[in-house]
Amino acid sequence: MGRLFGTDGVRVDLNKSLDPAFFSSLSSSICESFGENALFLIGKDIRFGGDIILHAVLSGLLSSGCRAYYAGLVSTPALQYNVKMDGGFDGGIMITASHNPPNYNGIKVIDSDGIEIPRSKEEEIEQLFFSSKLKRFKSSSIEFDVPKYHGAIERYVDAVVSQVDDELTRSRGLTVLLDAANSVGSIALPQIIRRLGGKVISLNGHLDPSFPGREPEPTPETLKLTSKIIGHAGADFGIAVDGDADRSIFIDELGTVQWGDRTATVLTPFIKQKHPELPPRVYTGISSSSFMEEILKQKGISVIWMKVGSVDISRRLKAEGGLMGFEENGGIMYPPHHYVRDAGMAVALMMELLSMERAKASELYSVYPRTYSIKTKYPLESREKGLEIYEKVKTKFSGARIIDIDGVKVMLEDAWFLIRMSGTEPVIRVMIESKKEGQEKDILMEVERLLQVG
């Protein structure tokens, strides 16, 4: 049986294929999995091909006996919040390729609790899709229309604002540079910032599926211009989001891009103070920094390491409870609001913390040590070769602390590194971070010897 779902949803390269029949059959499989008469809330971001996929999805759902409402252009967390809180939806489908380049689009499937479906349900949908046993064109389907779902953005914004002390944030009057990546982040986030008394400086704020301002994934490379503008604009901090506005990367007033695990290091002690009733632990993927763990442990907060992937982190956070779930790539999950990545909620929390501390963003992030890092990747012949490399690394560094739940992470005294096979392309990824300048290069040389590179 083939695979459809990746780490986060189903995505296709529009340059290679955009087959409406594929998405129609996929949505029929989703309908079969959820059950006849299941009601879905559908939304989309601004990407190319979105309307084609939308109509294919609706065709597949309705012809298989399911029903749908259409929320229009929304962020993924806004759609997820409405699915969870409305009470009438069995699930949702978000048409997006998240942070992928402009030539990609796809879908994320959301369960009735507003969280993306668990892996077991993904497998069930895939089995239905490849079995060719779909029951199509139910007689009741011809009676179904697709009503507009009004107020999704407004309800979401109200919910986010209600989670913070808006009187406090209004007293500070922060100026925020928002880089919305020319997509749906430009709809809700400015409203949140203004409702909290902030001034919005908008960058890449107009909707454009070609993403002319920058690539949809917020990274130090794609945010070079954004970083330069911060100081000239007089902003207190900046936030850059991805294509569907669930991931958020913050930039301090000096123009320093802060990874998601650093933001979690800043926000989590604040959340512990704000919600002492929550279990003092966080959940994060293996790619997050080990130095973050050292800092949080000093605050009485334990770190639960997990495989890379927001879906698994969200579901375990919901099942076991905690202060936060997060990813180094900018996913921030705040349980009192919702157990999913949410850039709107992240910016509201940052505004509240800065207002409470009366501090600069760079001062908050100074809790994190200065480090030197490398992120790179190498071609990989096969999965078997990758597993062989894992064993070599574990043998070579057998005296160090090792976590091998998803690749191999090695924690040294003043450094750590992760070697992990990609789930989406034939490469092996290497991440290294060191407190000593130059040590990251020495580690890379050692890793390359194990990889037999060069």
Cα atoms in the 13 Å half-sphere on the side-chain side of 374: 23
The confidence score (pLDDT) of residue 28 equals 95
454 falls in which pLDDT band (50, 70, 90)?
A: low
Same domain for 297 and 435, yes or no, is no
> In this structure, is residue 219 part of a structural domain?
yes
Residue where the block lists tokens 């009187």: 167
Cβ atoms of 193 and 352 within 8 Å: the answer is no
Q: Annotate 104-124 with DSSP letters as a single string.
A: EEEEEEEETTSSBPPHHHHHH
- Which of 332, 365, 398 terminates a domain? The answer is 365
> In this structure, is residue 36 part of a structural domain?
yes
Same domain for 394 and 335, yes or no, is no
Environment class of residue 169 by beta-carbon count within 10 Å: exposed (0-12), middle (13-18) or buried (19+)? buried
The confidence score (pLDDT) of residue 425 equals 74
Same domain for 227 and 120, yes or no, is no
pLDDT for residue 453 is more than 70: no
182 falls in which pLDDT band (50, 70, 90)?
A: very high
Q: What is the CATH number of the domain that holds 434?
A: 3.30.310.50
Over residues 282-300, mean pLDDT: 95
Over residues 198-218, mean pLDDT: 97
The confidence score (pLDDT) of residue 426 equals 85
CA distance 52 to 49: 5
pLDDT for residue 411 is more than 70: yes
Same domain for 43 and 113, yes or no, is yes
Same domain for 239 and 109, yes or no, is no
What DSSP state is assigned to residue 369?
P
Percent of the chain past pLDDT 70, that is, above it, reads 96
Tell me if residue 98 is catalytic: yes
The reported pTM is: 0.94
The confidence score (pLDDT) of residue 69 equals 98
Same domain for 133 and 180, yes or no, is no
Q: What is the CATH number of the domain that holds 83?
A: 3.40.120.10
Same domain for 302 and 197, yes or no, is yes
The encoded tokens of residue 414 equal 């003043």
> In this structure, is residue 68 part of a structural domain?
yes
> In this structure, is residue 1 part of a structural domain?
no
> In this structure, is residue 4 part of a structural domain?
no
pLDDT for residue 356 is more than 60: yes
> In this structure, is residue 2 part of a structural domain?
no
What order of strands is seen across the sheet that includes strand 408-411?
A: 372-379, 427-434, 415-421, 408-411, 401-403
> In this structure, is residue 242 part of a structural domain?
yes
Over residues 367-372, mean pLDDT: 92
CA distance 418 to 411: 9
Same domain for 89 and 161, yes or no, is no
36 phi and psi, to 5 degrees? -60, 140
CA distance 238 to 277: 31
The confidence score (pLDDT) of residue 142 equals 62
Residues 6+ away with beta carbon under 8 Å from 24: 56, 57, 59, 60, 63
Summarised one tens digit per residue, pLDDT across range 306-315 is 999 899 999 9
The confidence score (pLDDT) of residue 6 equals 85
Same domain for 244 and 357, yes or no, is yes
The confidence score (pLDDT) of residue 166 equals 97
Provide the mean pLDDT of the chain.
94
Same domain for 264 and 348, yes or no, is yes
Q: Which pairing describes strands 91-95 and 39-44: parallel, antiparallel, or unpaired?
A: parallel
- Which of 135, 150, 165 terminates a domain? The answer is 150
Counting the structural domains of the chain, the total is 3
Q: Which pairing describes strands 372-379 and 338-341: parallel, antiparallel, or unpaired?
A: unpaired
The confidence score (pLDDT) of residue 17 equals 85
Over residues 226-232, mean pLDDT: 94
Widest CA span of the chain, in angstroms? 68
* CA–CA–CA angle 58, 84, 338 (5° rounding): 125
What is the total residue count of the chain?
454
> In this structure, is residue 332 part of a structural domain?
yes
- Which of 121, 150, 179 terminates a domain? The answer is 150
Over residues 320-325, mean pLDDT: 98
Over residues 105-118, mean pLDDT: 97
Closest CA to 327 of 347, 344, 351, 303: 303
Residue 418, domain extent: 373-451
CA distance 145 to 143: 7
The span from the first CA to the last CA of the chain, in angstroms, equals 37
Which is the catalytic residue, given 25, 28, 98, 355? Answer: 98
The confidence score (pLDDT) of residue 134 equals 62
Residue where the block lists tokens 């139910």: 138
Same domain for 195 and 323, yes or no, is yes
315 phi and psi, to 5 degrees? -70, -35
pLDDT for residue 3 is more than 60: yes
Same domain for 235 and 323, yes or no, is yes
Cα atoms in the 13 Å half-sphere on the side-chain side of 207: 15
The confidence score (pLDDT) of residue 269 equals 97
CA distance 8 to 428: 19
